[in-house]
Amino acid sequence: MTSPRSPKPTVSFEFFPPKSPAAEGQLWAAIRALEPLLPEYVSVTYGAGGSTRDATFDTVTRIFSETHLRPAAHLTCVGQSRAEIDDLLGRYWQAGVRHIVALRGDPPAGGDYQPHPEGYANAAELVAGIKRVADFEISVAAYPETHPQANSPQSDLDNLKRKFDSGADRAITQFFFDNQRYLDFLDRAAAAGVVGEIVPGILPVTQFAQMTKFAAMCGASVPDWLEDLFDGLDEDPDTRRLVAAMVTTEQMRSLQASGVNTFHIYTLNRADLTLGICRRLGLKPAKLVGVMAPLSEAMPPVQRDPNFR
């Protein structure tokens, strides 16, 4: 007797803006390959210190105008005044983009975070500021294993609640490999009064050493069993891909069995693994015709805080 199939998941994808012509080609090959899966949205990241602001804007607006995808633009507090952020939000709105991923952000070259003297101090303030400009859909970040700069797990949860209270529509988690940590986090968030969807961020692993560096920076733990699976595969990319597809598919199916069926996949601008994983989970490409029509709604007037200088 076979067990019933899980319902098809809802997915979104994350890309990062290119830094070279070759990287741009790889990005757009990935976008075109994944486009027929028709994800809920695709997000485009924002470099440390706002280093890719223009590249992010160009990528997001091109996705909006040239594909069937609905893009979400990452935006951070780092290195920008409120007026500069308002201006960028206005440009996104005029271009038809309606979804922002609001983050505090990281300073360039590491170091301690220092807010802009005329900017937003944190992501909760940024979310409130975005809502004052226009009624954007807003996603924020969540950390099942606690943000590495948080004073405590509880203070990190309190910060997440402030982001939802300021107007966030959902949170997307940092990647993780132990599903129980995510499920426990959902319980702790609910107990802390967090009301809102917390979508698991899923990272298919191809470069194990690179992933461990990411994990060290964001506070994600790497279990011994995962290290053991990739041990000795540095010169064997084909087997690495097979292992990565297996691990990620099993992780997502296990979450489905726990009632989770919405996922945000960090693609690292590569389509092959994401395509294979989505097919294993029952998602098939659609036949695309034309491009979605752009929105024509005008930008509402910016409501500035009269007490801010």
Residue-wise pLDDT for 244-266, tens only, equals: 999 999 999 999 999 999 999 99
Between 39-48, 102-111, 128-137, 296-305, the lowest mean confidence (pLDDT) is in 296-305
Q: Which one of 3.90.930.12, 3.20.20.220, 3.30.460.10, 3.40.250.10 gives the CATH number of domain 10-280? A: 3.20.20.220
- The residues annotated with a catalytic role in the active site are 14
163 HSE (CA, 13 A, CB side): 29
pLDDT at residue number 105: 87
Span 219-235, average pLDDT = 94
In whole angstroms, what is the distance from residue 6 CA to residue 281 CA? 8
Cβ(271)–Cβ(240) below 8 Å: no
pLDDT at residue number 295: 42
Residue 291 has pLDDT above 80, yes or no: no
**Element housing 266 (H / E):** strand 262-266
Residue 289 has pLDDT above 60, yes or no: yes
pLDDT at residue number 305: 42
Residue 306, token pair as written in the block: 């009269």
pTM above 0.75, yes or no: yes
Q: What long-range pairs does 24-29 form, CB within 8 A, spacing at least 24?
A: 26/269, 26/270, 27/59, 27/269, 29/271
pLDDT band for position 215 (cuts 50, 70, 90) = very high
pLDDT at residue number 7: 83
pLDDT at residue number 14: 98
